[in-house]
Structure 1
Amino acid sequence: MSRSDLKLRPVVAEANPTSPISEAYRTLRTNLQYAETDRPLQLLMVTSAGPEEGKSTTIMNLAVTYAQMERRTILVDADLRKPTSHYNFGLSNRTGLSHVLSGQADLSEVIKETRIKGLDVLPSGPVPPNPSELLGSSRMEELLGKLREQYDMVLIDTPPVLAVADAQVVANKCDGVLLVVNARTGKKQHAIKAKNALQFVQARIVGIALNQTAHREAGPYYEYVDRT
């Protein structure tokens, strides 16, 4: 498949950086920076309790806002079951994270530049038969260590917490976890269950982003809620 065949999705923070929605993403970024008081937040995992809550849209726009403040940023698509980052940025998914974790490629061979200055993407690669095992492997630890050395900000997209074990496997390898909750369709008990599941593996939940909250002027946008 050529890049021209890939479906591009709008990145609001890039396409309309002065819009209220883009400002909401920048506010979210700023709030996350204040969560760095205890220790640096360089590896941030973004997930949700269930599907269709907006985690991938959130991490995509958040990555753009970090790059816009001239922080070298990479978005890692660790959703090895339903990857989306290659669609969002019009990239090929023929090679990616699954190839590195299975020993079929080097990290440098699969990282892809985007049209946005300072933002790279590590696509998921082909869907493997054993996602949880790959994400929990020593190769994943080694990969994250290399990304720490190469980038100012590493954003990791994972499957929803309640769907599979993948998010829990990755969570305690990161400096923090942002939980995205759809304020309109998400269920409180599911969010609580997801939070408990993350805390069970000693993940550091740095906050909750409420997606699709009502606002008089901006329309649907994100609000940051402290984890406490």
Structure 2
Amino acid sequence: MKKTSRKQLIAYKNPTSPVSEQFKTIRTSIDFSAIDSAFQTILVTSPEVGSGKSTIAANLAIVYAQQGKKTLLIDGDLRKPTVHKTFSKNMFCGLSSVLTDQIDLHEACQNTEVPNLSILTSGAIPPNPNEMLSSNKMTLILEELKQEYDLIIIDTPPVTIVSDALVIAQEVDGVILAVRYGVTLKDRIKQAVEQIGMTRTPIIGTVLNGVSEKKSNYYYYAYK
């Protein structure tokens, strides 16, 4: 992995750090939120750009993999994908290529240096991301992946900017909303919650990113 990418993956680079412990706490909180059954598919989104949702999704995937769960991180942001950069992997061998039958699903899922963690990058950026994500083919892909993985985390675009997250939300067990301290406006959070509510998919909780304590960034999980 490139140095810049490893910096984002603190749960892998420094698993005993305070920030990594916060991700483990978030993981535990999510598990406790599953009263009737475990969350197998989790979507991560945010009210706006710059909340750190992709970093949160990546590190959550890592701490679940470290727990021994066979985990898959999907880059569902077909507009501004980042997962391939974070893990230094091939972007074009990804989701959009599977959706257009250019590559087999299992070939597209790439292993990482993190044991038990695979990623499905975005693939080439398509002209119609919303239509692709809301297709029957996408539903079938998720159903097939659920047979292979214990946990699937999907990174998606900000929910108040485009509706991509909303069409995928209908196919998952729960949603994590990432917000940034001192940046995300309350009105944007309210708008995001209302929009996700229309899908009837439960919001598992909110991760507050960027809370500065002793010049370190911490993550705080809150039940919704």
CA offset digits 1:90-125 (Å, max 9, x no partner): 101122100111222220121100011110000000
Quick one: distance in 2 between partners of 1:9 and 1:136?
32
Q: Deviations over 1:9-59 (max 9, x none)?
A: 421001111110000000000000011113320000001010000100001
Aligned residue for 1:164?
Answer: 162
- Decide whether the 8 Å contact of 1:172 with 1:204 is kept in 2: no
Name structure 1 gaps, 5 residues minimum: none
Q: 2:121 aligns with which of 120, 123, 126?
A: 123
Conserved? CA contact 1:78–1:157, under 8 Å: yes
C-alpha distance in 2 between matches for 1:197 and 1:145: 24
In 2, distance between residues paired with 1:104 and 1:147? 18
SS in 1 for 2:61: helix
Structure 1 counterpart of 2:5, which letter?
A: L
User: The residue matched to 2:49 in structure 1 has which SS?
Assistant: coil
The answer to whether the Cα contact below 8 Å between 1:162 and 1:194 also exists between their aligned partners in 2 is: yes
Instruction: Provide Cα deviations, 1:50-95, integer angstroms capped at 9, x if missing partner.
Output: 0000100001111110010110000000100000011111101122
Contact 1:9 1:87 in 2 (8 A): no
Q: Residue type matched to 1:176 in 2?
A: G
Q: Which residue of 2 aligns with 1:14?
A: 12
Aligned to 1:226: 223
- Cα separation, 2, equivalents of 1:39 and 1:172: 17
- CA RMSD, 1 decimal: 1.5
* Partner amino acid, structure 2, of 1:219: S
TM-score, length of structure 2 as denominator length:
0.96
Alpha-carbon shift at residue 212 of structure 1 (Å): 1.0
Flag structure 2 segments of 5+ consecutive residues without an equivalent. none
- What is the Cα deviation at residue 223 of structure 1? 0.7
Q: Which amino acid aligns with 2:73?
A: L
Q: How many pairs does the alignment contain?
A: 223
Following superposition, the deviation at residue 7 of structure 1 comes to 6.2
- State how far apart, in whole Å, the 2-side matches of 1:41 and 1:202 are: 15
Asked if structure 2 preserves the Cα contact closer than 8 Å seen for 1:214 and 1:220, the reply is yes
Q: Secondary structure at the match of 1:75?
A: strand
Q: Given that residues 96 and 123 in structure 2 are in contact (C-alpha distance below 8 angstroms), is that contact kept between their aligned partners in structure 1?
A: yes
The 1-side partners of 2:29 and 2:162 are apart by: 28
